Amino acid sequence: MKYVLMMHTPRGSSDYQHPAWTPEDWEAHLAHFGRLNAELVERGEMVGVVALTPPSQATLVRAGGPGMPVETDGPFPETKEFLAGYWMVDVESVERAYEIAGIASAAPGPGGTPLRMPIEVRQLMGTTAPGL
């Protein structure tokens, strides 16, 4: 079964909080995800992993009627968190997807304290487009 595990992260004074972290804390944070990704690849569960640019670099597009779409840099919902990235995994059970989400959620933050970031787990529906 395929699942998407979406990592939501709290906003900082800019988009991300990590610019205020020490270099050592940031390296430990990235190493945690490196280990998780390597394990998923080794187990044959990794379908893909994507880190997203921050909301300040996002563009909202809506159909503008006939012709070209309408692009804006907002308005975006006022939130304390935003989607920072996601994993797509192919696992035997939803319990395994939850286990992976728990590992991702425990990524260390400042001082090595687990961040306990919310990871939204959703099963992928239907089939993919031909050729994918």
**pLDDT tens, position by position, 35-88:** 999 999 999 999 999 988 887 787 777 777 777 777 666 555 556 677 889 999
DSSP assignments along 68-90, one per residue: SPEEES------SEEEEEEEEEE
Q: What is the pLDDT of residues 3-33, one digit of tens each?
A: 999 998 876 545 566 777 899 999 999 999 9
Cis peptide before 118 (omega within 30 of 0): no
Q: What is the pTM of this model?
A: 0.79
